[in-house]
Amino acid sequence: MVQMNTEWNSARDWRVSCQSNWGVPKTIDLWDLVRNQRTLKGAFPLVTLSRLVQGLLDQVVIRDLVSVSEDEQGVVWFEVTGESRVGGRSSIEVEVQAKVLVTCQRCLEPMVQTLLESVRFDVVTQAQFDALDNEDIDPDESDVVVGSRQFDLLELLEDQLILAIPYVPKHLKCQPKAPLHDVGAEDEGLGVEQKPNPFDVLARLKGRQ
Ligand SMILES: [Zn+2]
């Protein structure tokens, strides 16, 4: 996967231009975007992404731009730019970012995780895609999407954010949660009681004499 910009884009101009297109992105004409080298920006509520938020903590719910909080949680911002070179490949550049609430796997407290993805995809026809030999595709180099006049942009953005969630999210600094009680010590105590007392054994042997 080709990673590009990996910094949280808090530039006011960028945010404002995304937010001017507020709402859940529907399908788009990807061929038109590529052919005319257009850029599409937008912003929408994070909770729209049901696959992403499933299994996560309850996320901040944003209903309109007025309710976007200072900490920027609950919103997805994105930018998609089409590109086509004469005689070359068509591609799109996708930038998407959001902040989600996850559970820290060290202290088990909630934490805000920044998700950023900036990826370039080659845009191919279905026929080109079918003809691709999977062994020729280097997963680190080549991301491919099949172009369509009804391309599901929401699904692509959601996939990218899901991929951006760390496998084991952790605060930069925190302490592991202390266990409720020490089970190991109890087991050990039980073990000692069950062992025969060596002095009893000795006394029995002496009694036989
Ligand atoms: Zn933590």
- List residues, by chain if needed, whose CB lies under 5 Å from ion ligand 1: 104, 106-107, 171, 174
Q: Say whether pLDDT at 34 is over 90.
A: yes
CA of residue 178 to ligand 1 center, whole Å: 12
Which helix (H) or strand (E) covers residue 122, if one does?
strand 110-124
CA of residue 172 to ligand 1 center, whole Å: 7
Buried b vs exposed e over 128-143: b needs ≥16 C-beta within 10 Å? eeeeeeeeeeeeeeeb
DSSP letter at 197 equals P
Confidence at residue 118, expressed as pLDDT on a 0 to 100 scale: 92
The answer as to whether 6 is a domain residue is no
Total domains present in the chain: 1
The answer as to whether 128 is a domain residue is yes
| Average predicted confidence (pLDDT) for the chain | 83
Instruction: Give per-residue pLDDT as tens, 113-141.
Output: 999 999 999 999 999 888 887 666 655 56
Half-sphere exposure of 179 (CA within 13 A, CB side): 5
Instruction: Tell me the residue range of the domain where 97 lies.
Output: 12-164
The answer as to whether 93 is a domain residue is yes
The answer as to whether 178 is a domain residue is no
CA of residue 101 to ligand 1 center, whole Å: 12
Ramachandran area for residue 44 (φ above 0: left; ψ -120 to 50: alpha; else beta): beta
Q: What percent of the chain has pLDDT over 90?
A: 55
**What's the CA gap between 100 and 46, in Å, rounded?**
8
